[in-house]
């Protein structure tokens, strides 16, 4: 899909270098290119540049105009045939010609507000276990002190926060509504306005979804399940089964609440919202931060869970002695409440790792955090030159010597692991390697970019008393100036019983060890060089290291 943005001042959907050059030639892409909604701005130019399909409709620039362009010689019939062939190839590749499949269009109606249209149940009961497992594995435990977690047969729990309960409603009519946009807990009109003037007066998009728990993103990131398991509902069910006394406060007016001093733990639920159509206004929220501090001031076992769409700063309270455990729960989907309950009670051990660094302050991001602005004359085409290059997140923090609060790849479990026995085996004769790939173009680029150059193995031992999974990570340093100190090049997740050892394995491909050569306009392998290789639990916790010689 070609985007709304321009690349080098040319709209993405009629940028020939991008579509014909990089995508269809260098990367050997065999599918078709479709425009984002209303992202087409030209007729013949977009067709010759590599656009194959227009959404939501093509009559403004194409239609009869494209037919006339063929007739008058502005574009060749062969080019139109190539566009059609790419679209039809996708049809056959996805087996749409299979007569056993439902006819195309089943479940769709021309008028989405027509409630007489049949309801189509597209669920597969076999997916239930996968959905639950995905919800569980997306949780990242970043703090756990004083043996706070897992909970051990609590007699009394207190639950706080706007994110603990279900949204007040899910049903609403019309195409653009809170349920359809995944914004049951927020003001969906702030997103509708982001797509144009149809929404009228645009309210500001808030950094939190204050009206209930958040299980997904907004807009195209929406989750529209048939049910939602909220943290409170799942905890209430567990408490009823185990005879635990529950207290709760979802309103927490002015970020304060009453604390029952007999509570075994105080569970605080927050969120950090995001959606298609708007920018996140911040990576912190003063109301939520005050709530945590006020609860922790009177509860010596405060456990914080954040349903977050991306980075969320926590330095306002992370070092508070009464904040004993913190979980980044991310966006678990329909089984959100059941998943966090299983983790809190130790039915499963959390095993997720952060796919981003959590800095101590916004200033750690430097100029990257600042939005692209315009000076007046360029208001319709503001430009970002991306001067940071590949130095984003942990790669930038490593270069600048910035110590994040939680580094990229970090995550705790209910046990401990040790790493040992790092081995590197070259799988090709180094004397046969060339600086640049020589293979034919296949989908993804030159075929030999995907050749395995070396295999790396290491042992992971569970030194605790609980079975858990560990995500071992492989980082490589490319021995060249202006390159990151190390870059993630692989990960392997293994479940390890107590006092047992499992071996993790990583395949290093030519592409993993190459860097883009601007002058050669190709991926360059530094033949004859030593590549530092690191294996460990995160980007800042790499216990094992060795050199790969090419």
Catalytic residue IDs: 36
Specify whether the CB–CB gap between 322 and 146 falls below 8 A: no
Q: DSSP H helical segments within 194-274, as ranges? A: 231-242
What sign does the CA torsion over 247, 250, 252, 253 have? negative
- Rg of the chain over CA atoms, in angstroms? 27
Of the chain, the end-to-end C-alpha distance in Å amounts to 38
In 3D space, the residue among 87, 24, 77 whose CA is nearest the CA of residue 55 turns out to be 87
Specify whether the CB–CB gap between 141 and 325 falls below 8 A: yes
Report the distance separating Cα 235 and Cα 241, nearest Å.
10
Report the distance separating Cα 158 and Cα 526, nearest Å.
58
Q: How many helices (H) and strands (E) does the chain have?
A: 10, 19
Report the distance separating Cα 515 and Cα 525, nearest Å.
7
Please compute, for residue 225, the number of CA atoms within 13 A of its CA located in the half-sphere on the CB side.
20
Where is 519: in which H helix or E strand?
none
The full 3-state SS of 324-355, as one line of letters, equals EEEEECCCCCCCHHHHHHHHHCCCCCCCCCCC
Report the distance separating Cα 33 and Cα 6, nearest Å.
16
What sign does the CA torsion over 404, 410, 413, 419 have? negative
State the residue for tokens 């769709």.
108
Please name every residue paired with 522 in a beta bridge, in sequence order, or none if there are none: 517
By DSSP bridging, strand 452-462 and strand 417-426 are antiparallel
85 phi/psi in degrees, rounded to 5: -65, -40
Omega prior to 56 cis, within 30 of 0: yes
In 3D space, the residue among 269, 265, 228 whose CA is nearest the CA of residue 246 turns out to be 265
Spatial neighbors of 345 by CB under 8 A, at least 6 apart, are 150, 151, 238
By DSSP bridging, strand 530-536 and strand 501-509 are unpaired
């Amino acid at each position: 899909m070609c985007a709304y943005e321009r690349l080098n001042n040319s709209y993405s959907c009629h940028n020939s270098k991008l579509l014909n050059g990089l995508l269809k030639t260098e990367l050997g892409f065999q599918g078709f290119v479709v425009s984002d909604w209303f992202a087409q701005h030209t007729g013949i130019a977009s067709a010759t540049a590599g656009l194959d399909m227009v959404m939501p409709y093509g009559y403004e620039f194409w239609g009869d105009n494209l037919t006339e362009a063929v007739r008058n010689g502005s574009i060749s019939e062969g080019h139109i045939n190539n566009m059609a062939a790419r679209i039809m190839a996708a049809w056959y590749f996805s087996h749409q010609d299979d007569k056993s499949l439902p006819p195309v269009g089943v479940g769709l109606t021309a008028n989405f507000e027509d409630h007489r249209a049949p309801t189509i149940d597209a669920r597969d009961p076999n997916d239930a276990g996968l959905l639950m497992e995905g919800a569980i594995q997306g949780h990242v435990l970043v703090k756990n002190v004083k043996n706070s977690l897992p909970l051990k047969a609590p007699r009394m729990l207190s639950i706080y926060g706007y994110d603990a309960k279900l949204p007040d409603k899910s049903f609403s009519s019309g195409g653009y509504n809170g349920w359809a946009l995944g914004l049951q807990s927020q003001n969906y009109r702030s997103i509708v306005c982001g797509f144009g003037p149809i929404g009228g007066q645009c309210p500001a998009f808030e950094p939190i979804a204050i009206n209930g728990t958040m299980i997904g993103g907004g807009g195209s990131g929406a989750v529209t399940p048939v049910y939602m398991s909220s943290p409170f509902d799942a905890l209430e069910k567990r408490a009823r089964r185990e005879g635990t006394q529950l207290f709760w406060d979802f309103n927490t007016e002015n970020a304060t609440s009453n604390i029952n001093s007999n509570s075994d733990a105080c569970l605080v639920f927050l969120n950090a919202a995001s959606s298609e159509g708007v920018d996140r206004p911040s990576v912190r929220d003063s109301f939520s931060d005050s709530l945590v501090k006020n609860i922790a001031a009177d509860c010596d076992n405060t456990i914080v869970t954040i349903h977050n769409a991306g980075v969320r700063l926590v330095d306002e309270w992370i070092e508070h002695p009464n904040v004993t455990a913190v979980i980044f729960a991310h966006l678990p989907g329909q089984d959100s409440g059941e998943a966090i309950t299983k983790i809190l009670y130790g039915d499963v051990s959390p095993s997720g790792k952060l796919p981003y660094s959590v800095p101590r302050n916004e200033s750690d991001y430097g100029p990257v955090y600042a939005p692209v602005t315009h000076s007046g004359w360029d208001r319709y085409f503001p430009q970002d030159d991306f001067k940071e290059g590949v130095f984003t997140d942990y790669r930038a923090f490593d270069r600048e010597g910035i110590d994040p609060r939680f580094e990229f790849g970090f995550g705790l479990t209910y046990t401990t692991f040790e790493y040992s026995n790092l081995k590197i085996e070259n799988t090709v004769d180094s004397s046969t390697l060339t600086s640049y790939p020589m293979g034919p173009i296949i989908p993804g680029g030159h075929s030999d970019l995907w050749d395995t150059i070396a295999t790396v193995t290491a042992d992971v031992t569970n030194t605790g008393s609980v079975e858990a999974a560990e995500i071992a990570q492989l980082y490589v340093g490319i021995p060249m100036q202006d390159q990151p100190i190390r870059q993630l090049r692989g990960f392997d997740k293994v479940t390890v019983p107590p006092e047992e050892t499992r071996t993790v394995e990583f395949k290093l491909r030519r592409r993993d060890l190459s860097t883009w050569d601007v002058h050669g306009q190709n991926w360059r392998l530094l033949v004859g060089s030593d590549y530092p290789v690191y294996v460990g639990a995160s980007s800042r916790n790499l216990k094992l290291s060795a050199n790969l010689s090419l």
